[in-house]
């Protein structure tokens, strides 16, 4: 086993779990990045993956891999930067143990992330939400499960990973109904439920109790639904909803779009941005500011308060001669 293989094993078996205590999603993302990198180097250098060592992880080769992600795999600049973070994380941990490769590793660590542009977020209107929620087939349990899943997501704005990890014990329908979850950054939060959501979840849980497992939204054998499964179910219902609501065809709708929709509904109701940040589990309000940019109603209200260009500034003073003023009308 060469130095690179030993460092990768040490990072993913010991360091990531015991010292950094990284989340399962982060470890999976870092692992996939290194799998893609090693496969790319094997194809471009003609060297078997087991023979690749730190001397192959040069700044030139890593930059070529990042360009491959962006131009050939069609990844966004954000994904490119996330892959670079995964590479740098492993190399930064390996640097003190392998000073003989310090020059090569330091050059890779110096690769800067690519500047990105933040697109205006996409969300659903009230009519689009109603059409989507009506799309699942209510005559079978799968359709009723999907209806409850989509309704809960639109109302709470939970992330897809948070929806997947919910159990039946996380939903509380008594006094002060709410759903509890552990979100990004291991931040625990409680999100209140509306009366409509409580009614939907009450009906769903009464039927869910007859199925195995503890996952709130489960598959046929009680196992929790995966991220891919949730996106697949959403895509299926979007096809049905688009037939009666054509505006959905022009939007790229994912489970995260439903999270954006929940935030925009709160903003339209006059909820303060800082409260929305707490609702969504954001570490600060910078991420929540994107919803202000997407809300045209707020921008329209702002322009309505501005002075038209042909109006002279100052406090209105009536004309001293009322007869002359009336004549000039």
What is the rounded distance in angstroms from the CA atom of residue 274 to the CA atom of residue 20? Answer: 29
Q: Name the DSSP letter for residue 284.
A: S
What is the rounded distance in angstroms from the CA atom of residue 255 to the CA atom of residue 293? Answer: 21
Residues facing residue 167 across a β-bridge = 215
Residue 294 near residue 123, CB atoms below 8 Å = yes
192 by Cβ neighbours in 10 Å (0-12 / 13-18 / 19+) ranks as: middle
In angstroms, what CA-CA distances link 97 with 7, 13, 106, 107? 9, 16, 13, 17
- Helix (H, G, I), strand (E, B), or coil: what is residue 253? coil
Residue position matching structure tokens 């940040």: 277
Those residues whose C-beta lies under 8 Å from the C-beta of residue 77, and which sit 6 or more positions away, are 70, 114, 115, 116, 117
CB atoms within 10 A of CB 291: 21
Q: Name the token pair of 100.
A: 């003989």
The per-residue DSSP string of 164-223 comes to HH-BGGGEE-SSS-EEEEE-GGG-EEEEE--HHHHHHHHHHHHHHTTSSSSBSSB-TTSP
- Active-site positions read 159, 184, 256, 259, 282, 291
The per-residue DSSP string of 106-169 comes to HHHHTPPPPP---PPP----HHHHHHHHT-S-TTSHHHHHHHHHHHHHHHH---HHHHHH-BGG
The per-residue DSSP string of 27-40 comes to HHHHHHHHHHHHHH
């Amino acid at each position: 086993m060469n130095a690179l293989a030993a460092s990768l094993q040490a990072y993913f078996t010991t360091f990531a779990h015991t010292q950094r205590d990284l989340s399962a999603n982060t470890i999976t993302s870092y692992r996939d990045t290194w799998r893609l990198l090693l496969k790319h180097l094997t194809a471009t250098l003609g060297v078997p993956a087991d023979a690749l060592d730190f001397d192959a992880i040069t700044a030139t080769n890593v930059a070529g891999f990042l360009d491959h992600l962006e131009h050939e795999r069609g990844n966004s600049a954000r994904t490119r930067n996330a892959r670079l973070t995964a590479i740098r994380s492993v190399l930064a941990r390996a640097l003190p143990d392998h000073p003989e490769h310090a020059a090569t590793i330091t050059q890779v660590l110096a690769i800067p992330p690519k500047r990105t542009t933040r697109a205006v977020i996409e969300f659903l209107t009230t009519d689009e939400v109603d059409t989507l929620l009506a799309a699942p087939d209510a005559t079978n349990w799968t359709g009723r499960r999907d209806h409850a899943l989509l309704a809960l997501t639109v109302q709470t704005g939970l992330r897809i990973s948070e929806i997947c990890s919910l159990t039946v014990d996380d939903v509380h329908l008594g006094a002060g109904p709410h759903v509890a979850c552990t979100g990004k950054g291991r931040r625990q939060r409680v999100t209140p439920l509306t009366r409509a959501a409580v009614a939907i979840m009450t009906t769903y849980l009464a039927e869910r109790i007859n199925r195995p497992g503890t996952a709130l939204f489960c598959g046929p054998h009680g196992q929790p639904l995966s991220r891919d499964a949730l996106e697949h179910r959403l895509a299926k219902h979007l096809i049905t909803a688009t037939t009666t609501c054509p505006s959905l065809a022009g939007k790229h709708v994912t489970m995260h779009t439903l999270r954006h929709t929940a935030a925009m509904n709160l903003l339209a109701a006059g909820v303060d941005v800082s409260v929305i940040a707490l609702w969504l589990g954001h570490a600060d309000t910078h991420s929540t500011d994107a919803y202000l940019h997407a809300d045209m109603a707020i921008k329209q209200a702002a322009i309505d308060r501005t002075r038209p260009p042909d109006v002279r500034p100052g406090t209105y003073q009536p004309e001293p001669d009322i007869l002359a003023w009336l004549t000039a009308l």
